[in-house]
Homo-oligomer: A and B are copies of this chain.
Amino acid sequence: MSVLAGLTAALSSGSVEIIDLTTPLSSETPILNLPQPFANTVGLSVSPVSNFDDAGPAWAWNDVTVGEHAGTHLDAPVHWITGKDGKSVDQIEPHRLVGPIVVIDKTTEVSADPDFLLEPEHFEQWQSEHGLFPENCWVIFRTGWAARGADAAAFVNADDAGPHTPGVSAAGAKWLAGNASISGFGVETVGIDAGQAGGLDPMFPVHSFLLGADKYGVTSLRNVDRLPVTGATLVVAPLPIVGGTGSPSRVYALVEK
């Protein structure tokens, strides 16, 4: 049987399942909130075009306004100064957006310390247990953070110093950017960098190193706890906004039973 006939049969029988990793997109979807003097993006707002009325007797439809970086979204290289001569979201080749998933689970560490940062030794430790990162993979950082998704305050987890959410150290981000197998990095939080990453050097190191190395980020993932550590396939589907710095995205995982 061909690969795709096998996939079709497996989807029909249920032996391969499609898990939706996307956060539902509404005006309630958590978004990043940077401190003054920085400008912030907007969450979703909806404006009706018609609603079974004179403007459209048999149909309802809406226009929407939303940030390129709202909700589950992809960060493209041109989002960051280090990648500004790189690819906009529409220029990323689809084959970089579909690939094997590796899950790095630090749920325990993060529940003890919300500011937990991944370091190079965590990636090396993972590889010594599970093998080298596969070609074109997406590294998904499992933190349990999505469980806070229904409680906006717990999700942002801010105090006077700003948000406290997990991320990657500058050394860890540099390590990821230098690994040729990695296509992208996915997180459960609103951004690919830690809540306190504005104070790291360089500031926002995951953005800085990954987007500068033609690697991509994807955020606000749900259902990461349903993924196996290896063996699942990610499908990241941003809108191909011409010149866009990112896009709200649908993200699916194919998981084999």
Contact = CB atoms under 8 A, between A and B. Distances in A.
A242 B25 contact: yes
- Count identical subunits in the complex: 2
Interface string A155-168: 00000000000000
B252 A208 contact: no
Contact of A241 (B26, B241, B243): B26
A112 interface: no
Interface string A64-85: 1111110000000011111010
Contacts of A135: 12
A5 B255 CA distance: 11
B68 A66 contact: no
Interface residues of A, number: 90
A229 interface: no
Interface string A1-40: 0111111101110011111101111100000001001111
A49 B39 contact: yes
9 contacts: A3-B16, A6-B6, A11-B136, A12-B135, A52-B81, A57-B81, A58-B203, A61-B68, A61-B245
Interface of A: 2-8, 10-12, 15-20, 22-26, 34, 37-42, 44, 46, 49-50, 52, 54-69, 78-82, 84, 90, 94-95, 97-100, 134-136, 203-204, 207-208, 231-233, 235, 237-246, 248-250, 252, 254-256
